[in-house]
Amino acid sequence: MWKDFKAFLLRGNVIDLATAVVIGAAFGKIVTALVDNIIMPIIGVLTSGVDFANMKYVIKEAETNLVGEVVKEEVAIGYGVLINAVIQFIIIAFCIFLVIHAMNKAKAKFAKKEEEKEEETPKDIELLTEIRDLLKKENA
């Protein structure tokens, strides 16, 4: 069983997947920073200063004592965090789309060049074909 597990781990697909997860996590941090620090403030300005991260529906208010210290935290549904997550998802999906789109274009261009190379007949073969055709005409 250990031998099979080791073979599974060393298979190329597992290593590729692990690499993709690590790169995806790093990319996720970059997108989070982009959304939280650049895009959301711009959207906040466009929506008259609304900060989505602080948007919530309060189910039960926080309880405080006479000094103003919080005794019980409020119970709230933070739907603004969900809005931020959806925006991050859209950005990540768009970036992945751009990468895959570029890869498909490059792949199609490469395949087209390969087909053109295969269709192209070398000059020495063309010359030999002409000689063969001339000899056939002479012998006929």
Q: How many CB atoms lie within 10 A of CB 43?
A: 16
Alpha-carbon span 30 to 36, nearest angstrom: 10
Confidence of residue 12 (pLDDT cuts 50, 70, 90): low
Average pLDDT over residues 29-37: 82
Which of the 8 DSSP states describes residue 61?
P
Please say if the pLDDT value at position 51 is more than 80: no
In the chain, DSSP assigns E strands to: 57-60, 63-64, 70-72, 75-77
- Contact criterion met (CB below 8 Å) for 54 and 82: no
- Contact criterion met (CB below 8 Å) for 70 and 92: no
Alpha-carbon span 92 to 7, nearest angstrom: 33
| Residue 110 belongs to domain spanning | 2-139
Please say if the pLDDT value at position 46 is more than 70: yes
Based on the structure, what is the number of domains in the chain? 1
pLDDT given for residue 126 in this prediction: 81
List, for residues 80-132, the tens digit of each pLDDT value.
Answer: 888 888 887 888 788 778 888 998 898 888 888 777 776 777 778 888 888 89
Q: Average pLDDT, whole number, for the chain?
A: 82
pLDDT given for residue 112 in this prediction: 82
Q: How many CB atoms lie within 10 A of CB 78?
A: 14
CATH number at residue 55: 1.10.1200.120
Average pLDDT over residues 64-81: 86
